[in-house]
Chain A
Amino acid sequence: MLIEVREVHKSFGANAVLRGSSLQIDAGEAIVIIGRSGGGKSILLKHLIGLLRPDKGSVRVGGVDIAELSERKLLPIRRRFGMLFQGAALFDSMTVAENVGFVLQRERHHTEGEIARQVLEALEMVDLPGIESKKPAELSGGMRKRVGLARAIVYRPEIILYDEPTTGLDPIAAGVIDKLIRRVWSQLKVTSIAVTHDLKSAETISDRILMLNEGRIHGDGPTAEILRSTDPIISNFVHGIPTETR
């Protein structure tokens, strides 16, 4: 078991977002988490990497309860993760190359040439060569997202978290990203965990789907099975049928 979330509760004031979510993920899996907008998918993802701490419950990564660790003790565990944020969250004071090479630069044991080569390689992987010296403000939303992806994969993490990797991209760019996520998963042998609304993309990038509903994991199964599920909540979501609740 690589990641184990047990009965996690998280509220913001009176807004109970997670209400006893539990899930288990093995090393090497390709997972997609689906669920309504505002349902707490980003919040759940942030718990996996320790950006947020549960009010109740535990999050274990490789057997270690990360909710108990101090921010400083969490750092080596976070190094095993790469994360693509919903809004990319690029450092706007830095160039694209500095953004992508950030972790390598901070680790102090890579030469400049080596960093430049790896940055270039990562940017080529996301299909954006030649923009190294641009600032994030000069890029479109979709380009920013791909730079964020390059930043998350360049240091070869074991686990990659993607928060809506294809939202806001044109269908072709989205297809490219989906293929890329799949390729990163198969070539780099990472564990891939993505949050998305895009079921077409979910079909490409996942082997297993978890559905988050009302703060809990409602459905959990192989991708094809979930997409064909007869469970009313899941099938309504998959077919886009509005329900009475919320």
Chain B
Amino acid sequence: MVENLRQRIDGALIGLGSFGMLAIEALRSLRYKRPTWLDFVRQLHFVGVKSQSVVLTTGAATGMVLCAQTYFQFHKVKMDTATGAVVSVGMCSELGPVLAALMLTARVGAAMAAELGTMKVTEQIDALRTLATHPVDYLVIPRFLACIVAAPLLTAEAIVVGILASQLVGVGLLGIEGTYYRANMIRYTAPSDVVTGLIKALIFGAIIALIACYKGLNCREGAEGVGRATTEAVVAASISILVSNFFLTLFLTRLFKGI
């Protein structure tokens, strides 16, 4: 029992260590090696362009329901026109980046872990290494760069679509006065709220790419190994996003607003 626990803790620490090594190796590669732009563009297409429909739908649905629910509560205290402000700040600094990142994890992180995992079990990673190519240079870096570029852009799109959709619901459906809705929204949304969201998205993008690549590259044998690597990548990345989001909120709010 105690032995088992110790083994599990050891395993977790070793895993954390080798994940750290991967992150360091990635930074080293970025510093000293020229990335292959063609691979980067291919990944950017996959991560950025092809995730749009998913992320935009998520953004719109979230904006709409957030608006409706906020309105139902605020209406009781006759603060209808403040609804826009809550939706906007919520979308910019929390819901936009977190939900976009979770959708990216499901779509992109899972695919990356499965792809690299399959390459690992079919010895393609070993083949790559014998062909004098570092797997981090060739596989991780293009994916990492694509994620940190695409995540903030997709998040920005999700926020914009979410806010527009909320206005549609709030003004069009629930009958909030449009001018006040927009005025309050703009008045209470600080530029730092937007920046907070984009910084978070950048960090979440890095988390998704690194965890997915790590799980893929360390995949165990067989089809079962690939399945497990994929699941673990999605779970680990999602949890990391949610937990780090809390600390990022505290840190960035203190940084920008001194609270």
CB of B177 within 8 Å of the partner chain: no
B240 part of interface (Cβ distance < 8 Å): no
**How far, in angstroms, from A8 to B107 measured CA to CA in the complex?**
44
A64 within 8 A of B: no
Chain B interface size band reads 10 to 19
B25: min CB distance to chain A, Å: 8
Q: Which of B62-70, B121-129, B158-166 binds A?
A: B121-129
Greatest chain A CB density within 10 A among B28, B122, B124, B132 is at B132
CA distance A91 to B134 in the complex (A): 15
| A180–B142 CA distance with the chains assembled, in angstroms | 37
Q: Is B179 part of the binding interface, using a Cβ–Cβ cutoff of 8 Å?
A: no
The reply to whether B130 and A51 contact each other, CB–CB distance below 8 Å, is yes
- The answer to the question of A57 belonging to the interface, with a C-beta cut-off of 8 Å to chain B, is no
Query: Is A18's CB within 8 Å of the partner chain B?
Result: no
A82 to B130, CA, bound (A): 7
The A90-105 residues at the B interface (CB cut-off 8 A) are 90-92, 102-103
Do A78 and B123 touch across chains, with their CB atoms under 8 A apart?
no
Main secondary structure of the interface of A (DSSP, over half): mixed
**Which chain A residue shows the least CB distance to B133?**
A106
The answer on a CB contact under 8 Å between A91 and B130 is: no
Partner of B130, one of A49, A72, A106: A49
Chain B: minimal CB distance from A204 (Å): 24
B132–A71 CB distance below 8 A = no
B77 in contact (CB, < 8 A): no
User: CB within 8 A of B127: which of A71, A79, A91?
Assistant: A91
A46 within 8 A of B: yes
Main secondary structure of the interface of B (DSSP, over half): helix
With beta carbons under 8 angstroms apart, the residue of B119, B122, B124, B129 that contacts A78 is B129
- The answer to whether A83 and B134 have CB atoms under 8 Å apart is no
A151 smallest CB distance to B (angstroms): 8
A23 proximal to B (CB < 8 A): no
Residues of B within 8 A of A83 (CB): 127, 130
Task: Decide yes or no whether A81 CB sits under 8 A from chain B.
Answer: yes
**CA–CA, A89 to B127, complex, Å?**
6
Please, how many angstroms separate the alpha-carbon atoms of A90 and B131 in the complex?
11
Is A51 within 8 A of B124, CB to CB? no
A39 at the interface (CB under 8 A from B): no
Cα–Cα distance between A75 and B128 once the two chains are bound (Å): 10
Say if the beta carbon of A76 comes within 8 Å of chain B: yes
CB distance from B247 to the nearest CB of A (A): 32
Docked complex Cα distance between A214 and B130 (Å): 27
List of B residues within 8 angstroms of A71 by Cβ = 129, 134
Interface set, chain A 11-49, CB cutoff 8 A to B: 46, 49
The CA of A237 and the CA of B139, in the complex, are separated in Å by 42
A85 at the interface (CB under 8 A from B): yes
Contacts of B28 in A (CB 8 A): 72
Q: Is the CB of A103 within 8 A of B126?
A: no
**How far, in whole Å, are A91 and B131 apart by their CA atoms in the complex?**
12
Instruction: Point out the residues of chain B lying under 8 angstroms from A49, CB to CB.
Output: 130
The contact sample of 18 A-B pairs, CB cut-off 8 A, is A49-B130, A72-B134, A75-B132, A78-B130, A78-B131, A85-B123, A87-B122, A87-B123, A89-B122, A89-B127, A90-B127, A91-B119, A91-B127, A102-B131, A103-B131, A106-B131, A106-B132, A106-B133
Could you tell me which B residues sit within 8 Å of A by CB distance?
Answer: 28, 119, 122-124, 126-134, 138
Q: Could you tell me which A residues sit within 8 Å of B by CB distance?
A: 46, 49, 51, 71-72, 75-76, 78-79, 81-83, 85, 87, 89-92, 102-103, 106, 151
